[in-house]
């Protein structure tokens, strides 16, 4: 065989992969959502697309399917919009001021579809076992050009800190003082609206995931706190499919005086027949709610269904 022919045969042969260059295991590759979130951080227009896709997923899934979807998107949001100074313990009064913003409409859905009973032993741990999801959308108008933040307060009695995210604006989270001697913890959510124009409607979306709540009889209530001048408040509660609520009642708590006032359901705008024995879902609308009040829904569940240990 001639020398040239041997050279051509050697050049056409497939190269041999060294043993040290083993292909990467497919299990180590990022998920499509991680790749999408990484892609979205490269430019502002990509973040806008990411937020739009997220909004479609969340808004189109309000109901029983939402909790499972949120667990899949939570990591992606945190990668893109990790709050600056999340869960800080102090911030200037200028940033936490509640003036300069008017709420045209607030719509909140508390979805307990993925709620479950927990044993007393499980409650002593930090395990995330029983999920509650709160989706809140605010339609706002800035009444003062100096307004930098829209402030919303979140409360939880669980040992596990809630997850507080936004698909519309950057935000900061500041841990506030506890409510008196109770075990209720509070956080001020500061949504950055400094770049929004004055006196034009804007929408702020908050996605909050709570863990291990509503486990005691004294915790069977949901509060919707009003901080700002608000024209309309709509509160929707979705109970677990296998555990509808009974003895549903309505009240408000005055935050300043700490007074609780019971309300007559027959005089309220409630999508619920007062004669029903059990409730799977309810919607309560309040026109011109009073600031510094917490509008609350209470209910009961059969304690016989709770675990014995």
Radius of gyration of the chain (CA): 25
Per-residue pLDDT of the chain (309 residues; tens, 9 = 90+): 544 444 444 444 444 333 333 333 333 445 455 566 566 666 666 666 666 666 554 444 433 333 333 433 333 333 333 343 344 444 455 455 567 899 999 999 999 999 999 988 888 888 899 999 999 999 999 988 888 999 998 888 888 889 999 999 999 998 876 655 467 888 889 999 999 998 899 999 999 999 999 998 989 999 999 989 999 999 999 999 989 999 999 999 998 899 999 999 999 999 975 556 789 999 999 999 999 999 999 999 987 666 665
Distance of alpha carbon 66 from alpha carbon 58, whole angstroms: 7
Provide the pLDDT for residue 165: 93
Provide the pLDDT for residue 17: 38
Provide the pLDDT for residue 192: 94
228-256 CB burial, b ≥16 within 10 A, e <16:
bbbeebbbbbbbbeebbbeebebebbebe
Provide the pLDDT for residue 245: 92
Residue 122 burial (CB count, 10 A):
15
pTM, whole model, 2 decimals?
0.69
Decide: 113 and 241 in contact? Cβ < 8 Å: yes
Instruction: Give the pairing of strands 101-111 and 232-238.
Output: parallel
Distance of alpha carbon 228 from alpha carbon 106, whole angstroms: 11
Provide the pLDDT for residue 305: 62
Provide the pLDDT for residue 125: 82
Dump pLDDT digits (tens) for 259-294. Answer: 999 999 999 999 975 556 789 999 999 999 999 999
Q: With left for phi above 0 and alpha for psi between -120 and 50, is residue 269 left, alpha or beta?
A: beta
Provide the pLDDT for residue 208: 94
Instruction: Give the pairing of strands 171-175 and 281-287.
Output: unpaired
Distance of alpha carbon 50 from alpha carbon 39, whole angstroms: 9
Provide the pLDDT for residue 10: 44
Provide the pLDDT for residue 274: 53
204-223 CB burial, b ≥16 within 10 A, e <16:
bbbbbbbbbbbbeeeeeebb
Distance of alpha carbon 206 from alpha carbon 110, whole angstroms: 12
Provide the pLDDT for residue 307: 61
Provide the pLDDT for residue 81: 39
Q: Which residues contact 245 (CB under 8 A, 6 or more apart)?
A: 237, 239, 278, 279, 280, 299, 300, 301
Distance of alpha carbon 260 from alpha carbon 12, whole angstroms: 86
Provide the pLDDT for residue 184: 81
DSSP string, the chain: --HHHHHHHHHHSPPPPPTT-PPPPGGGSPPHHHHHHHHHTT-HHHHHHHHHHHHHHHHTT-STTHHHHHHHHHHHHHHH-PPTTTTBS---HHHH---SEEEEEEEEEEE-TT-----HHHHTS----SEEEEEEEEEEEESSTT--EEEEEEEE-SSSPPEEE-SSS-EEEEE---STTSS-EEEEEEEE-TTSPTTS-EEEEEEEEEES-S-SGGG-EEEEEE-S-BSEEEEEEE--TTS-BEEEEEEEEETTTTEEEEE-GGGSEESS-TT-S-BSEEEEEEESPPTTEEEEEEEE--GGGS---
């Amino acid at each position: 065989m001639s020398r040239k022919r041997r050279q051509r045969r050697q050049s056409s042969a497939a190269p041999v992969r060294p043993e040290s260059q083993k292909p990467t295991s497919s299990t180590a590759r990022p998920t499509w959502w991680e790749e999408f979130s990484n892609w979205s951080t490269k430019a502002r227009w990509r973040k806008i697309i990411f937020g739009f896709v997220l909004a479609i997923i969340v808004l189109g899934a309000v109901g029983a399917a939402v909790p499972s979807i949120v667990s899949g998107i939570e990591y992606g949001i945190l990668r893109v919009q990790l709050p600056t100074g999340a869960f800080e313990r102090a911030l200037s009064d200028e940033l936490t001021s509640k003036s300069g913003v008017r709420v045209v409409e607030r719509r909140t859905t508390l979805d307990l579809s993925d709620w479950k009973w927990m044993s007393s032993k499980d409650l002593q741990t930090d395990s995330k076992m029983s999920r509650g999801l709160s989706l809140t959308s605010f339609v706002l108008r800035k009444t003062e050009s100096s307004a930098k933040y829209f402030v919303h307060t979140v409360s939880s009695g669980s040992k596990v800190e809630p997850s507080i995210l936004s698909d519309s604006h950057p935000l900061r989270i500041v841990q506030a003082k506890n409510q008196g001697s109770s075990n209720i913890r509070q956080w001020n959510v500061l949504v950055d609206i400094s770049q929004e124009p004055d006196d034009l409607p804007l929408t702020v979306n908050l996605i909050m995931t709570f863990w291990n709540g509503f486990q005691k009889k004294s915790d069977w209530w949901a509060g919707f706190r009003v901080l700002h001048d608000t024209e309309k408040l709509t509160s929707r509660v979705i109970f677990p499919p296998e555990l509808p609520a009974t003895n549903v009642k309505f009240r408000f708590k005055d935050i300043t005086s700490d007074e609780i006032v019971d309300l007559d359901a027959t005089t309220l705008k409630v999508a619920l027949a007062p004669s029903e024995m059990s409730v799977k879902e309810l919607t309560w609308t309040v026109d011109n709610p009073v600031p510094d009040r917490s509008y609350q829904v209470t209910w009961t569940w059969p304690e016989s269904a709770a675990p014995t240990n």
